[in-house]
Amino acid sequence: MQAAAVEKLITDQIENIDVTVQLDGGHYHVTAVGQVFEGLSPVKKQQLIYGCLNEYIIDGTIHAVIIKTFTPEQWSKQS
């Protein structure tokens, strides 16, 4: 599955989120920025993203996912 398709899977299911996906071999590196992550634990943030991809993880289309999530405020401090 192409990186753009993974981005679309996430943005179609979570509103007002900016997502970048990079494909490195069989690993998908997902960076997601959105207010939706405000106040959530790290586990809950990852569960939101995994929920969008779960069908494709289960069927083996997506093998390995590395997820980094940020609120817009956290992202501005990262940049």
- Render pLDDT for 15-64 as a digit per residue (tens, 0 to 9): 999 999 999 988 999 999 999 999 999 999 999 999 999 999 999 999 89
Rounded to an integer, the average pLDDT of 63-69 is: 95
Between CA 79 and CA 58 the distance in angstroms is: 34
Side by side, the strands of the sheet bearing 27-34 are 17-24, 27-34, 64-70
Report residue 79's pLDDT band, with 50, 70 and 90 as the boundaries: low
Contact of 49 with 36, CB cutoff 8 Å: no
The span from the CA of 63 to the CA of 5, in Å, is 15
Judging by beta carbons within 10 Å of its beta carbon (0-12, 13-18, 19+), is residue 33 exposed, middle or buried?
buried
For the chain, domain boundaries: 3-74
CATH code for 3-74?
Answer: 3.30.300.90
pLDDT of residue 78: 84
